[in-house]
Amino acid sequence: MHSQCFSILKGKGTPKFKNADFKQFIYDIEKLYKSCELCERKCKVNRFIEKGFCRATAKAKIFGAHAHYGEEPELIPSGTLFFAGCNLQCVYCQNAPHSVTPELGDEWSDRQIAEWIDKCKCKNINFVTPDCYLLNIVGALKNVKANIPVVWNSSSYYSEKTAELIKEIVDLYLLDFRYFDNKCATKLSSAPNYAEAAKRNHLIACRNGDLIIRVLVMPNHTDCCAKPILRWIKDNLGENTRVNILEQYHPAYRANKYPEINRRLTMKEYSDVVSYAKKIGLKNLV
Ligand code: SF4
Ligand SMILES: [Zn+2]
């Protein structure tokens, strides 16, 4: 199993995008946009002229850009760019309405993104919900002068083609592993086959960069999702995998229509999941 060293975050080594073959890369991504398969939805729309499930176009829409001090300790300060629009539709989304209405974001050109990255003076550039915007991300990185590592902060519902492409530019994968049961994923995020996609993408990520996994514990989803996810991580990625078990869930957006998640997590639910992680031997919890 790949051992995570996080040396790129300590200023050792060169960020991957500095060695990327941008010409070929952009050609490949444009091809993917013309019949969009950036994520598991595989809408097959031409993103240059029409919209798929996520409603993102080929132009980057951003609703937040700042140095973030609330990320995992090794990442801060993290230069976070929040993309508007998302390929998941979580009924409890904390970033709605921007996540569901990309039109609410501000349009940024690739050059604007690059300039912001060059000026942000952070330890890394953290692309949040990047899945629908790979072309803009790569177009921006092509113009970035700073030697700054790239963080791919995603819900893990991107396609295998995207997973293969981003190996060229991503130094650290910051991945949500949200559901282990596809019934839960379908009901709460309209994401059938989420579990298979997330497993595959975590395995590819682990082989190709540093990895931090976020497990958001949700009420009444500890036995069907949180615990089996932790067990899978331990068995497939190893006991030293960096895992952040998040207790911050709160019902937002349309969660009031789903009684089982329409409350905060109890201390007992959270501590039970953390104890389980320790019991099965996960040693690198945030
Ligand atoms: S990014 Fe995903 S949801 Fe958006 S158009 Fe492409 S395949 Fe569809
Ligand atoms: Zn569940």
How do residues 65-84 score in pLDDT, each as one tens digit?
999 999 999 999 999 999 99
Cα 174 to middle of ligand 1, angstroms: 20
Residue in the structure block whose two tokens are 């790569």: 138
How far is the C-alpha of 225 from the C-alpha of 151, rounded, in Å?
25
How far is the C-alpha of 109 from the C-alpha of 234, rounded, in Å?
41
Q: What are the structure tokens assigned to 10, written together?
A: 């300590």
**What torsion do the CA atoms of 42, 47, 52, 53 make, to the nearest 10 degrees?**
80
- Whether 135 shows a pLDDT value over 90: the answer reads yes
Q: Worst-scoring range by mean pLDDT, 8-12, 97-101, 224-228, 282-286? A: 8-12
- CA nearest to 246, candidates 213, 278, 275, 268: 213
- Kindly state the DSSP code that residue 158 receives in the 8-state scheme: B
Residue in the structure block whose two tokens are 């932790």: 230
- Kindly state the DSSP code that residue 222 receives in the 8-state scheme: I
pLDDT tens per residue across span 202-231: 999 999 999 999 999 999 999 999 999 999
Buried b (16+ CB within 10 A) or exposed e, 86-96: bbbbbbbbebb
Ligand approaching nearest to the C-alpha of 188:
2
Cβ 177 vs Cβ 233: under 8 Å: yes
How far is the C-alpha of 100 from the C-alpha of 88, rounded, in Å?
9
Ligand 1 pocket member 133 (CB < 6 A): no
Stretch 33-54: mean pLDDT? 96
- Mutate which of 31, 34, 35, 36 for ligand 1 pocket (most atoms within 8 A of beta carbon): 36
pLDDT bin (cut points 50, 70, 90) of residue 3 is low
Cβ 240 vs Cβ 211: under 8 Å: no
Ligand 1 pocket member 153 (CB < 6 A): no
Ligand approaching nearest to the C-alpha of 216:
2
- Ligand 1 atom nearest to CA at 85: 4
- Whether 6 shows a pLDDT value over 80: the answer reads no
Q: Which domains does the chain have, with CATH numbers?
A: 7-285 (3.20.20.70)
How far is the C-alpha of 101 from the C-alpha of 85, rounded, in Å?
6
Question: Would you call the peptide bond into 77 cis, given omega within 30 degrees of 0 as the criterion?
Answer: yes
Cα 225 to middle of ligand 2, angstroms: 4
How far is the C-alpha of 222 from the C-alpha of 102, rounded, in Å?
31
Q: Which residues contact 121 (CB under 8 A, 6 or more apart)?
A: 67, 77, 79
